[in-house]
């Protein structure tokens, strides 16, 4: 079984925030692939289904971003998963808006959700990083991640989420390069300076 974790903060006031793009992505995967209903469990919300031939559990931690690892750790222990079975979908300041990049292992680069997951399951999980761009000044980062995607960003966001969902079976199969290239082909990022 594979675990795909979308990072975000619970509650309607956070729903459209850039920091919640992980939630948005796993919700789109669940919709596109007819997963079961979201239900409470493991300090989060979970939905079960299949991607390609793989059984997959989608998880949205409801612990708030900074404690995401509590929920992930519970699932990993319950199902006896290895970090290699875990894919975490999260926002990435250091990628241009609309770009994605797969990464296996590594540090947390100041992302509190990743920091928490690493504290609970180690750092050898896979990450699908979704670029939200950097506001240019460190003092503006907090406000940037905790504000809604702008109207111009919406133009690339929904096609990107749909492409991620469409090609999610490749993600579950660990075919990360194929997944990333197909998503970028279907949903190219906006030209620099746009969105």
Would you list the domain boundaries of the chain?
A: 2-186
Catalytic residue IDs: 19
Q: Using CA of residue 54, residue 60, residue 63, residue 67, what is the dihedral sign?
A: positive
For the segment(s) 2-186, the CATH number from 3.50.50.60, 1.10.260.40, 3.40.50.1470, 3.30.930.10 is 3.40.50.1470
**Residue 192's pLDDT is what?**
65
Please give the C-alpha separations between residue 5 and each of 48, 92, 109, 139, 174, in angstroms, as whole numbers: 12, 15, 18, 28, 15
The pLDDT, as a whole number, for residue 191 is: 80
User: What's the pLDDT score for residue 2?
Assistant: 98
Q: State the pairing for strand pair 54-61/86-92.
A: unpaired
Using DSSP, state whether 176 is helix, strand or coil: helix
Q: With the CA atoms of 48, 33, 157 and 133 taken in that order, what torsion angle do they form, in degrees rounded to the nearest 10?
A: 40
Report the alpha-carbon angle 148-152-157, nearest 5. Answer: 70
> Tens-digit pLDDT profile for the chain (195 aa)?
999 999 999 999 999 999 999 999 999 999 999 999 999 999 999 999 999 999 999 999 999 999 999 999 999 999 999 999 999 999 999 999 999 999 999 999 889 999 999 999 999 999 999 999 999 999 999 999 999 999 999 999 999 999 999 999 999 999 999 999 999 999 999 886 554
């Amino acid at each position: 079984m594979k675990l795909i974790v979308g990072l975000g903060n619970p509650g309607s006031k956070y729903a459209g925030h850039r920091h919640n793009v992980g939630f948005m992505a796993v919700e789109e995967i669940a919709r596109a692939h007819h997963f079961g209903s979201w239900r409470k469990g493991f300090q989060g919300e979970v939905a079960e289904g299949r991607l390609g031939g793989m059984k997959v559990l989608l998880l949205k931690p409801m612990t708030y971003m900074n404690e995401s690892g509590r929920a992930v750790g519970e699932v990993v222990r319950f199902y006896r998963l290895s970090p290699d079975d875990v894919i975490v979908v999260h926002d990435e300041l250091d990628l241009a808006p609309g770009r994605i990049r797969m990464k296996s292992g590594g540090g947390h680069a100041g992302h509190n959700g990743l920091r928490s997951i690493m504290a609970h399951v180690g750092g050898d999980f896979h990450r699908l990083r979704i670029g939200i761009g950097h506001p240019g000044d460190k003092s503006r980062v907090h406000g940037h991640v905790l504000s809604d995607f702008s109207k111009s960003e919406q133009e690339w966001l929904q096609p990107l989420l749909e492409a991620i969902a469409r090609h999610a079976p490749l993600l579950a199969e660990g075919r990360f390069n194929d997944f990333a290239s197909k998503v970028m082909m279907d949903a190219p990022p906006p030209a620099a300076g746009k969105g």
